[in-house]
Amino acid sequence: MPRKLAIEQPKESAPAAKSKAKATAADPIAAPLEVAAAAPVAPAKRELLNRELAILQFNRRVLAQAKRDDVPLLERLRYLCIVSSNLDEFFEIRISDYLPLNGKAPEMPDAARWFGPVIAEAQALVQEQYEVLARTLMPMLKKEGIEILSHAERDAAQMAWVAEFFQREVRPLLIPIALDPAHPFPQVANKSLNFIVRLSGKDAFGRENSIAIVKVPRVVPRVIRLPEKVSNGKQVFVLLSSVIRAHLHELFPDREVVGFSQFRVTRDSDLSVDEQDVTNLRQALRLNLTARHFGNAVRLEVGHACPPDLYDFLLKQFSLPPEALFLINGPVNLVRFTTMIDQVTVSPKSKLLFAAYAAQWPKSVPAAASIFDTLQKGDVLLHHPFESFDPVVSFLRQAVADPQVLAIKMTIYRAGSDSVLMDLLIEAARRGKEVTAVVELKARFDEEANINWAERLESVGAQVVYGVVGLKTHGKALLITRREGKKLARYAHLSTGNYNLKTARLYTDLGYLTADPELTADVEQVFQHLASQSKVGTLKHLLMAPFTLHKAMIAHLHEVRDAALAGKPARVVARMNALLDEPLIEALIEAGAAGAKVDLIVRGACVLPPGLKGWTDNIRVRSIVGRFLEHTRAFYFRAGTKEALYLASADWMGRNMFRRIELAWPIRDKKLRQRVIDEALTPYLLDGVDAFKQLPDGTYQSARSAKPSAQRSLMQIYGGQ
């Protein structure tokens, strides 16, 4: 890790030259930029990058992890699965805007211009993905004694076992449907495995219904491990699609299978509920959850050997253009390979997986002490997953057990289907404490779990609200009110991540525990607003979207711009998951054009093209893709002698700034601010292992150097690895 940065604010009278003389290359954040006084520069009108292409570029960076020799083999396969999962969501959520659905024109204004390039890039990405699997990962797995056998590769004993498995576990669940006027094309669920079959001859009634559909139930495992007795000392697997393909003819006795293919259709899965027109949002969403599986088709995947007449038939059936067809050289759903990874037997010291990492209990939170006593002495910063999330659980657990705690308020966005924190909230309500849960029912793909938690909380007397109509509650906050003598004291937890114990071990996030009276009073006002929808009073420290967050971020960027124009130190370092909001991008460009040094650490989609001469010369964009999913949002501004550092739940996207309840809070404690800089910003600017540099055209190249990985360095510091 780099040494600590000296970012103490210089005195107002200190000459700028003296401040600049102290700057060194080792201090990428503290170092002021050398700027000459200049007249304001009006940036030329330029075009931002396409959002969908930017998302696909992120998936190329994830795919690059599957190619890295320094990544364990099974983890490389996992990255390949992540790409498939990401692409599924990309098509489920993003691509429908580009397609004419239900006779309506595409919703995307530039659909005609961008649909071709977006689909072409998606096709290229998928092709490369399957090439990495077939040419690199599968041969390497075979060398490690891990094999996925096709029907032709199985020996006699293995074929016999598969045949018996098919008859026992699969065949009873399959009902082939031969299409005719009385047997129309069946409803095919989103992302389900199916087969289309062309048959010769006539059916039992003498009719020539030549096409049949076989739907494969989701309850049958997609990857099956063969028992040791037929594995020849190896770990051998077969795919369900291969099992069915080998025995497909058995489903159609007295007829010949003359053509077939596996296929999978992806459907538009973005739930749409008119909140202004429903009386109970929870009930409306629950009714719509089933419909998600049968939305408009947006993509068709078939085996690469699928006869053209069969995929043409499917395209017509699903009302899809030819561009929506993906010919797949392998199984149509690579996400299922994650179940194979889970089934592989590895030794504790195996190099096929990442070495186990056990996050340590933070030293800043004495394990045996009351967390309330600890917070009375000062705020606590938690850096996950390098530090354990357990203090947050302990914070709530102590509140539930403490008879002096009167009220608990919490936002719930992605808690997961199995949550200790939700169980603790339920227990708190049972003990008679005032529990208020702000449950976001529209957290995409977590709607059902959140509905279930809402119902369980209500059943024990907790007050459950669903935020503000038309806005998602994305801000993460937990507020505890405790009687201490004759007064009521507040304690709060704010976070850049979710209250989800699983993702807390896999995502990088920053959490903040505080008993600061002013900050906790702000949090109280936020909960009052979410419950009553009354106007938010003046918040002293918290920034809240859609009210003050966007304006405040732009104001800070303008201060940086003005400082640069005045020849003063001017610096921006912003770390986030996505950068899409045009006004914020314009303000970044203005600051850079004025001479400020701007570094952006953007994990995912970034539509700002950096490094364009005369426009974005002073802006650098890098992305970190490592072992953990980068999820932290941190924003640093320096304008002359003025510094500000915020943590936030929000990315710089229009939806976060104007269509969500989001929170950002300043880190005012100098030691904690320095720690955020030293751990969450500086190492990521210097990372030479997991970093990618964005080029002006929106593509990325590896930023490999002799510098260490930021994530690995933090693991060594906090986990001793």
Poorest-confidence range of 14-18, 135-139, 424-428? 14-18
pLDDT class of 206 with cuts at 50, 70, 90: low
- Show the DSSP H helices in 594-679 as ranges: 654-658, 670-676
* pLDDT at residue 290, as a whole number: 62
Tens digits of per-residue pLDDT, 307-326? 999 999 999 999 999 999 99
DSSP code at position 47:
P
pLDDT at 181 over 80: no
Angle at 91 between CA 507 and CA 661, to 5 degrees: 50
pLDDT class of 708 with cuts at 50, 70, 90: very high
DSSP string, 5-31: P--PPPPTTS-HHHHHHT--TT-TTTS
Catalytic residue set: 474
Residue 179, C-beta contacts closer than 8 angstroms, at least 6 positions apart: 185, 209, 211, 212, 213
Give the C-alpha separation, 589 to 576, whole Å. Answer: 17
- Structure-block tokens of residue 326: 């993906």
Q: Region 664-680: what's the mean pLDDT?
A: 97
* pLDDT at residue 647, as a whole number: 98
**Greater model confidence, 458 or 416:** 458
pLDDT at 106 over 90: no
Give the C-alpha separation, 37 to 15, whole Å. Answer: 15
Longest dimension (CA), the chain: 98
pLDDT class of 28 with cuts at 50, 70, 90: low
Look-up: residue for tokens 């906050």?
477
SS3 537: coil
C-alpha dist (Å) from residue 706 to 626, 703, 714: 16, 10, 17
Domains of the chain are: 52-343 (3.30.1840.10), 371-540 (3.30.870.10), 545-719 (3.30.870.10)
pLDDT class of 105 with cuts at 50, 70, 90: low
* pLDDT at residue 46, as a whole number: 80
Quote the mean pLDDT of the chain.
Answer: 88
Give the C-alpha separation, 389 to 478, whole Å. Answer: 14
* pLDDT at residue 561, as a whole number: 98
- Structure-block tokens of residue 196: 């289309």
pLDDT at 25 over 50: no
**Greater model confidence, 405 or 200:** 405
Report the amino acid identity of residue 35. Answer: V
Give the C-alpha separation, 394 to 413, whole Å. Answer: 20
pLDDT at 276 over 80: no
* pLDDT at residue 17, as a whole number: 34
- Structure-block tokens of residue 103: 């006779």
156 sits in which H/E element: helix 156-165
Residue 488, C-beta contacts closer than 8 angstroms, at least 6 positions apart: 406, 481, 482
pLDDT class of 40 with cuts at 50, 70, 90: very low
Model pTM? 0.90
Residues in the annotated binding site for ATP = 86, 507, 603, 631
Residues in the annotated binding site = 86, 414, 444, 507, 603, 631
Give the C-alpha separation, 102 to 645, whole Å. Answer: 48
Give the C-alpha separation, 133 to 330, whole Å. Answer: 9
* pLDDT at residue 537, as a whole number: 83
Are the C-beta atoms of residues 231 and 237 closer than 8 Å to each other?
Answer: no
Smallest Cα–Cα separation from 236: which of 371, 144, 367, 126?
144
Give the C-alpha separation, 712 to 689, whole Å. Answer: 9
pLDDT at 68 over 90: yes
Residues in the annotated binding site for Mg(2+) = 414, 444
Are the C-beta atoms of residues 341 and 84 closer than 8 Å to each other?
Answer: no
* pLDDT at residue 435, as a whole number: 96
- Structure-block tokens of residue 99: 């397609």
DSSP string, 78-94: HHHHHHHHHHHHIIIII
pLDDT at 709 over 90: yes
pLDDT class of 534 with cuts at 50, 70, 90: confident
pLDDT class of 422 with cuts at 50, 70, 90: very high
pLDDT at 643 over 80: yes
Q: Region 581-588: what's the mean pLDDT?
A: 98
* pLDDT at residue 65, as a whole number: 98
Poorest-confidence range of 26-40, 329-343, 525-539, 575-589? 26-40
465 sits in which H/E element: strand 463-465
